[in-house]
Amino acid sequence: MPVLLFFYILIVLCLSIYSWNSLWLTYRCWRTRHEGAPTPPMQETPLVTVQLPVFNEFHVVERLLAAVAALDYPRDRLEIQVLDDSTDETTALVRTLVDRYRQQGLDITLLHRQERTGYKAGALAEGLRRAKGEFLAIFDADFVPPADWLRRTVPHLVARPELGLVQTRWTHLNATYSPLTMAQAIILDGQFGVEHRARNRSGYLMNFNGTGGIWRRAAIEAAGGWSAATLTEDLDLSYRAQLAGWRVLYLPEVTVPAELPPQMAAYCAQQFRWAKGSAQCLRRLAGPLWRSPYPLMVRWQGLLHISTYLCYPLMLLFLLLNLPVIWWQISLPHILGGFSIATLGPLALFITAQILTAAGQPQELPWWRRIAYLPVALLLGSGIMVSATRGVIEGLLGRPSPFQRTPKFRVESRQDSWRQRRYRAPLSPDLGGTAGLALYVLSLMALSWLRHSWWTLPFLALYEAGFLLVLGMSLWQHLQLRPRPSPRRPRGLRSAPQFATRK
C-alpha cells in the first residue's frame, strides 16, 4: 500500500507541475502583453528564398502558390522553391503552375525528388543546398501567407544579426467549420496566443512550428542543418539553433492563416506524430539543454516545453492506479486537494488566449462565443490519450516510423465537404485502445459509486466523455465516407493571378 500511494502521489505531483506551469505562463503573458517589436526600417532588401514543402497536396497547392506569388516583395529579390515529393498528380499540377508563374517573371523552381528520403526534413535540406537566399521562409501547403508577410518579418532579421528565426502566429481559415475545428483552434491559440508570447518575452526558449516562420541561413547551418532524426524536425532544429547561441523572435501581431483538419482520424494521426517527435527531441536534446550555459529557469522551462507530451502517459498511469485506490479505499492525503487547483492552469491559459488572439481573425466568432467550445477542446485533449501515449513511448524507445503528413482538403466554409476528396485518413489504430479505456473508466465509475468514492466521479466522467467523443466522432465520420472519387482539378485551375505593378 505505501508503494502504491507513493506512485499515486508522484504522478499527481508531476501532472500538477505542468498545470502550474500553464498558470505561470499565463501570468507572464499578461505581464508582457503590451510589449512588442515594431518593424524596423530596412535600408537594403536582401534576397529571400521561400520554400514550399509539398507531398500529395492536390487540393490546396494552387491556393498556396497563388498566395506566395502575390507576396509584396521585389521580384528580383525573391526566389520560390516548390519542394515536391508527391507521388500522384500533384506534381503535374505544380509543374503547370510553376511554368505559368515563371512566364510572368517570377523566379520559381520545382524540385521534385523521386525518393522521399528524410521526408520533410530531407526536402528542406535539399532545397537549402540549392537556395540562393540569405533568409528562408517556409510555408506548408495548407497555409495562405498574406501579401505583406515578408515586409513585416525580414526587417527584423536584417536589423538584428543575432536573430536566427522569426516565427509568426497561426490563425485559422476554417475554425467555425465544426466543433472539432473550433476545439483545435482553441488549443492552437493557447500555444500561439499565450505560451509563445510568454516564453519569448520572458527570455525562455521556444520552438519553430514548421511553417509560418523565416530562418537565417547561417543559423540553420551553424546548428547542423535539417535532420530527419525526429518526426518534429522543426522543434529539433530550433532548439539546436538556440543551444548554438542564436535568438528567436516571435511576432504575434504578424499572422498567417491555415486550414485545420476536419477529420478526427487525421487529427489523431497528427497528434501521434507531434507526440512522438517531441519525445524523440526530449531523448535527443534533454542532456545538451541541461548542460547548456543558460540560466536555471530557462533550462527548466525548456525541459518542461519539450516534455509536455509526457502528460499523456502520466494521465494513463493515473487512471490505471485509480482502480486499486478505489477498490481498497485507500485514504489519500489532504494535500492532494491542493493540487486540484492546478487544473485551473489550462483553463486560464485557453481563456486568456481567446481574449488576446480572437480579434481580427477571419471567419471567427467573438472570443466570448468561442469560449463555449472550450469543453470540447478539453475533452479532445483527454480523448487522444492513447494515440499520444503510444507516440511518446515509441519516441522514448527510439522506434522509427514514417512521416505521415496531415491530409488537407481545402475546406474553408461549412459548404465545403472533405468526405468526397482524396487523402482521407484511415481510422486510427488506437481506437481499440480508446474503446478499452472507455469501458475501463465506466467500470471505475460504477466501482466508485458502489464504494461511495464520490470524489472520483467528476474527473472520471470527464475522461469518459473525452474517450467517447474521439471514438464516436471517428466512427461516425468513417461511416459517412463515400467511395473515393476519381481525380479532378481543385476548383478549376484558373489562370494565375497577375502581379501588381510595384515601384
Q: Which helix (H) or strand (E) holds 433?
A: helix 431-450
β-strands 163-172, 135-138 pairing: unpaired
Please name every residue paired with 143 in a beta bridge, in sequence order, or none if there are none: 258
pLDDT of residue 36: 82
Residue 408 has φ and ψ, to the nearest 5°, of -120, 140
Residue 428's SS3 state is coil
Burial 288-318 (b: 16+ CB within 10 A, else e): ebeebebeeebbebbbbbbbbbbbbbbbbbb
234 belongs to the catalytic site: yes
Residue type, 324: P
Nearest to 175 by CA among 27, 3, 366: 366
Q: How far apart are CA 136 and CA 116, in angstroms?
A: 21
CB 253 within 8 A of CB 36: yes
Residue matched to cell numbers 502521489: 9
DSSP secondary structure letter of residue 490 = G
Q: Which residue in the list 140, 189, 234, 430 is annotated as catalytic? A: 234
Q: How does pLDDT run along the chain (503 residues), one tens digit per residue?
A: 678 888 888 998 899 999 999 999 999 999 998 888 888 998 889 999 999 999 999 999 999 999 999 999 999 999 999 999 999 999 999 999 999 999 999 999 999 998 999 999 999 999 999 999 999 999 999 999 999 999 999 999 999 999 999 999 999 999 999 999 999 999 999 999 999 999 999 999 999 999 999 999 999 999 999 999 999 999 999 999 999 999 999 999 999 999 999 999 999 999 999 999 999 999 999 999 999 999 999 999 999 999 999 999 999 999 999 898 888 877 766 556 656 677 788 999 999 999 988 654 544 678 788 899 999 999 999 999 999 999 999 999 999 888 888 999 999 888 888 988 889 999 999 999 999 999 999 999 999 998 887 778 888 999 999 999 999 999 999 998 855 554 455 555 544 433 333 33
Residue 395 has φ and ψ, to the nearest 5°, of -65, -40
72 belongs to the catalytic site: no
CB-CB neighbours of 31 under 10 Å: 12
Q: Which residue in the list 85, 140, 142, 189 is annotated as catalytic? A: 85
Q: Which helix (H) or strand (E) holds 342?
A: none
Residues composing the chain: 503
C-alpha cell at 353: 488566449
Residue 55's SS3 state is coil
On the 0-12 / 13-18 / 19+ scale of CB atoms within 10 A, 439 is: exposed
Q: How far apart are CA 224 and CA 244, in angstroms?
A: 10
Q: How far apart are CA 16 and CA 341, in angstroms?
A: 9
DSSP secondary structure letter of residue 253 = E
pLDDT of residue 497: 39
pLDDT of residue 480: 85
Residue type, 277: G
